[in-house]
Structure 1
Amino acid sequence: MPELPEVETVRMSLEPKLVGRRFEDVEILDSRLTRPTDPAEVAAELTGERVAAVDRRGKYLIVRFESGLVLLIHLRMTGTLGHSRNGAVAKSHLRAVVRLDDESDVTYRDVRRFGTWLVLREDELDSYLAARLGLEPLERGFSASKLADRLAGRRAPIKAALLDQRTLAGVGNIYADEALWRARIDPRRTAGELDVPEIRALHRGVRRALEAGIARQGATLRDYRKPDGSAGAMQHEFKVYGRGGEPCPRCGTPIEKTRVGGRGTWFCPGCQR
C-alpha cells in the first residue's frame, strides 16, 4: 500500500499539473471507486471544476476546487495516479480518466480495486478526516510529547500502534519497520511501556524514515509508480524491511522476520530492544 512518502510524492508531482486546470471531462469506469455514490453522479459533479490546490493528509490525496468542492482520493493497496499527454492512455486496470483543459489526462489505475474517490464539501472535510486520522507526523506541531499521549496506556505492540491511523496518519508497514529500526525499539514491545527517551527516539525515527522515503520519491515494490510512470528509489535504501537474513547495517546481526498484529515485520534482534 502506498504510504505517506508515496502519496506525498504523487501530490508534489501532480500539483503543478493540476492547479489552475479545469476538469474538462471525467469518466469513471468502475462503480466500486465511488460507491455507494453512482459514478455518473460523481463524474457530473467534478466536470467543469477548476483545481485550487492539491494537498495531502495521511495517505489521502486532497484535490480542492475553487467552488469549495473537494475530491478525496485514497489509493489503498494498488491504486496509482498517472499524468499523460496526447491521449496516450493505457487501458490496463484503468478505473477513471480526467481530461484537463490543456488536453492532458489524469488516469487512475487499480489492480485490486480497493481505492476510493469521495466528493465532499470543504466544510465537511475536517470532520471526516478527524474521525479517521491521528497526528500528522511531518507537521511542525508533531512532538514527542504528543506521541507519548497517543501511546499512553496502549497494550498493543508498538508496531501495531504505529499502524493504527488514529495514532499516526500515513505510517504503514514499511515505514513502521524502518522507524523502529532507527529508534532501536523491538516492534513487539508494548506501546504503553516505552519510556521517555524511547519515545523521543521513536519520534525522531518516524520523521527520519518518512523524510528518507520522500527524498527518494517513495518505494516501488510492485504497483506504486510516480505519475510519470517511473519508479521510486526508497526500496534500495531499506534498513530492515524485506531484508530477512541480511546483516543489520548498524550491528551486523542477521535481520529477522516475524509477525506483529498479523503483518510481516522485519527487525534486528541485536540492536532493537
Structure 2
Amino acid sequence: MPELPEVEVSRMGIAPHVTGQRVTDIVIRNPQLRWPVPEAIRQIVGQEIRRVSRRAKYLMLETDAGYAIVHLGMSGSLRVLPAGIPPEKHDHVDLCLASGEVLRYNDPRRFGAWLWQDKGGEHPVLAKLGPEPLSEAFCAQYLQEKARGKRTAIKQFIMDNHVVVGVGNIYANESLFSAGIHPKREAGKVSAKRLAVLVAEIKAVLAFAIEQGGTTLKDFKNADGKPGYFAQELQVYGKAGQPCPRCDKLLSEVKIGQRTTVYCSDCQK
C-alpha cells in the first residue's frame, strides 16, 4: 500500500509532465472506485493544471475551476504515457493532455478515488486532517498537547490522521524504534522530552524515505510495466524474529489496532 513518501514521490514524478498542460478530455472507464467518480469532475476538461499538490495521501490537480483529488488506495498508481498506448484491464481513468500524453490511473483493487472540489471550497475528505508531518505545525509542543491524558497506545496515536497525517504502519514502527519508545506505551505517559525525540524521528524517517524514492522518478514516464514502490531501508518493520540492529536481541511482533507491530523489548521502553 502506498504510504505518504510513495505518494509524495508520485507527485514529484507526474508534476513536471502535467503542470501547465491543458486537459482535453477525461476518460472514465470504471466510475465505481472506493467512491463513485463524480460527474462534476468533468469540469476539469478545458482547464489548465496549475499545480500538483499533496495533502496527506491525497494528490490534488489544481485548476482555476477547482481541483481533482486522487487517492491511490491500496494498489493504485499513476503513469504519464503517450495517448496511443492501449489501456489495460485495471486502467480506470485517463486524463488526456494537450501535450498528446495521458495521465493514466491504474488500480487493480479499486480502493483508490477520483473526486472533485469546486474552487473556493474544501472537500470533506480533507477537512479534519491533522498537520503534515514535515511541516512546522507538527512540532514537539503540538504533539505534547495532543497526547496529554491520552491512554491510547503511542503507535495508534501517531497513526491517527486527526493527530498527524501520513504516519502509516511502516513509518510508525520505524520512528518508534529510532526514538526508543515502546509501541504499547500510553501516549499520555510518554515524557515531553521523548515526544520531542519522536517528532524529530518521524520527520527524519519520512524525509529519508522520500529521498530514497527520488531514484524512481524516471519510472513515471515509461510505457513498460508500472512504477514500483521503492525499496525501503528498514530497521525493524517486517523483521520479527531477526536480531535487533542495535542490541542483537530478537525482535518481537504484536498486533496493535489490528496492525503488525515489530519492536525490540530491550531498546524500546
| 1:1-273 pair list within 5 angstroms | 1-33=1-33, 35-36=35-36, 38=38, 41-42=39-40, 44-65=42-63, 67-85=64-82, 87-125=84-122, 129-131=126-128, 133-217=129-213, 227-228=220-221, 229-235=226-232, 237-273=233-269
On the 8 A contact 1:25/1:98 being kept in 2, the answer is: yes
1:124-147 Cα deviation digits (max 9, x unpaired) = 12775232x102110123211111
Secondary structure of 2:220's aligned partner: coil
Q: TM-score, normalised by structure 1?
A: 0.89
Q: CA deviation at 1:265?
A: 1.0
Q: CA deviation at 1:36?
A: 4.4
Q: 1: distance between equivalents of 2:161 and 2:102? A: 31
Q: 1: distance between equivalents of 2:168 and 2:98? A: 35
Unmatched 5+ stretches in structure 2: none
1:38-61 Cα deviation digits (max 9, x unpaired) = 4xx245322212100011111111
Secondary structure of 2:50's aligned partner: strand
On the 8 A contact 2:22/2:97 being kept in 1, the answer is: yes
- The AA in structure 2 aligned to 1:95 is H
Q: 2: distance between equivalents of 1:80 and 1:156? A: 33
Q: 1: distance between equivalents of 2:111 and 2:259? A: 19
1:203-250 Cα deviation digits (max 9, x unpaired) = 0111011011101118x9xxxx96343434342x11111111111212
- The AA in structure 1 aligned to 2:115 is L
On the 8 A contact 1:22/1:101 being kept in 2, the answer is: yes
Q: 2: distance between equivalents of 1:55 and 1:217? A: 17
Q: TM-score, normalised by structure 2?
A: 0.91
Q: CA deviation at 1:86?
A: 5.3
CA root-mean-square deviation: 2.2
- The AA in structure 2 aligned to 1:25 is D
Secondary structure of 2:88's aligned partner: coil
Unmatched 5+ stretches in structure 1: none
Identity of aligned residues (%): 35
Q: 2: distance between equivalents of 1:184 and 1:62? A: 36
On the 8 A contact 1:94/1:107 being kept in 2, the answer is: yes
On the 8 A contact 2:34/2:111 being kept in 1, the answer is: no
Q: CA deviation at 1:35?
A: 3.8
1:52-87 Cα deviation digits (max 9, x unpaired) = 00111111111101x231111111211111111252
On the 8 A contact 2:41/2:68 being kept in 1, the answer is: no
